[in-house]
Amino acid sequence: MVELMYGLLNTIYGALQLITGLVALYQLALSIFGLIHRKREVLLPPSKRFAIVVPAHNEERVIGPLIDSLKAQDYPSDLYEIHVIADNCTDHTADVAAMHGAIVHRRTSADQRGKGYAIEWIIAELDKLNVQYDALTMFDADNLVDHEFLARMNDLLCRGNKVIQGYLGVKNPFDTWVSVSLAISYWFDNRMWQNARQNLGISCALGGTGLCIDHGVLKEIGWKATGLTEDLEFGVRCLRNGIVPTWAHDAKVYDEKPTGFTASFRQRLRWQQGHFQCAKEHLFPLLWEGIVGRNLAKFDMAVYLFQPMRSLLLFLAAAILFLVHFSPASKVSSAHFIPIIPTNVWVIVNVLLFAQMPLALLLERINWRAYFGLAVLPFFLWTWGPVTLQAYLTRSNRKWYHTPHKRAIRLDELRGR
């Protein structure tokens, strides 16, 4: 009976190792293409007219610096307008936004709450205006935007790109161990995931802010992304409609990250819930279309949709190891527990993945203080397991949770760090 039980554990553990290991090896292979980045010069003159959209719910503390950074763009002021959606606000967000020079749209909805619904609403409102925009760009209210952002988006649009994602930086990386852990994760993703895919000519993952969409695309396929991860939904729909989102590594946006663990947990829970919901609808169709059609972009997006499940499988594999080696019957269990794939091999692959974190910091020339964050990062990465497990168990939830933002940092302060 004991041998049968541990034989079953061996099989389950081996299957978990195989699946997560193959995904890790796949990512390792693709990340090689992220080692190189050559900054592209902006060559084409300003010609595109932008509607800048900022969904905001009770963001009076942070929205002023964002608008100021948008007003300071190296781009003709007559070729863009800033539209702030004061979405179900109960504070002075609308007043602050208007004071800083934005066009304010007040929205109230008791049932359709969340960023995706606000964006869908403003797109319809903009169509009613007697203004012809060439593209729509989106930012979160807590962002700061580099002065070259619109110029770079104009350049890429003029070159034929239709959906473009800007670089997702962090404006408060050194506030707490939580914010630095999130910042390291973003710096890694920007370089070893997003930049790598851009170099391969396949789709990047949309990040929900710093996003630029050609107006013709919105006319063709609409927005229709109202879930918990509206960015992921829209990106998948673009890819399935033959539109490959482009990564703009030098068009930078700086985002505020949660400083407390509870706020971070709730934010990541929403992300993972939305990810599971999107994967349920699109993972297997994308995988099939990618394999049958020999389309690497679709296959890669299917792998991306699988990532939360990989986190869950890693968590379960760790739980099995703990059960076997630290249970009261550990001496007996260890004798019967012989993994199909040597644990050392599985560990080495994941260690190599982690080693890309400091490499990404080096390549991105991040401030030396970030390297101290590597000491707490393994624990933070481990917490994705409980987050993902709860997200899976509550994956039917579609209630939007707002992440409060407090840091009214200005762009000139950020440059001085």
- Per 3-state DSSP, the chain is made up of helix, strand and coil in percentages (nearest 5) of 55, 10, 30
Q: What pLDDT sits at residue 313?
A: 84
**Residue-by-residue DSSP string for 332-394:** HHHHH---SS-HHHHHHHHHHHHHHHHHHHHHTT--GGGGGGGGTHHHHHHTHHHHHHHHHHT
List strand residue ranges (DSSP E) for 91-202, in order: 103-107, 135-138, 144-145, 163-170
Banded model confidence at residue 312, pLDDT cuts 50, 70, 90: confident
List phi, psi (to 5°) of 106.
-90, 130
Q: What is the mean pLDDT of residues 406-414?
A: 70
330-385 residue pLDDT tens: 554 555 556 666 767 767 777 888 899 999 999 999 999 999 999 999 999 989 98
List phi, psi (to 5°) of 195.
-60, -35
**Alpha-carbon span 68 to 109, nearest angstrom:** 28
Q: Answer for the pair 147, 73: CB distance below 8 angstroms, yes or no.
A: yes
Supply 167's token pair: 């670089």
Q: Which residue has the tokens 């970030």?
A: 370
Amino acid at 224: K
52-98 residue pLDDT tens: 999 999 999 999 999 999 999 999 999 999 999 999 999 999 999 99
**Alpha-carbon span 35 to 156, nearest angstrom:** 22
* Residue-range domain boundaries for the chain: 1-417
DSSP β-bridge partners for residue 4: none
Q: What is the mean pLDDT of residues 246-269?
A: 95
Strand order in the sheet with 103-107: 103-107, 80-87, 50-56, 135-138, 211-214, 163-170, 246-255, 144-145
Q: What pLDDT sits at residue 332?
A: 46
Q: Which residue has the tokens 């000491």?
A: 375
**Alpha-carbon span 211 to 226, nearest angstrom:** 16
CATH number, span 1-417: 3.90.550.10
Query: 47 or 338, which is more confident?
Result: 47
CA distances from 111 to 91, 123, 141, 230 (A): 20, 19, 22, 17
Statement: residue 404 has pLDDT above 80: no
CA distances from 276 to 66, 86, 194, 269, 282 (A): 31, 29, 21, 11, 10
Nearest to 79 by CA among 135, 128, 146: 135
Interhelix angle 384-393/261-292, nearest 10 degrees = 70
112-141 residue pLDDT tens: 888 999 999 999 999 888 889 999 999 999
Statement: residue 329 has pLDDT above 60: no
Banded model confidence at residue 277, pLDDT cuts 50, 70, 90: very high
DSSP β-bridge partners for residue 211: 138, 165
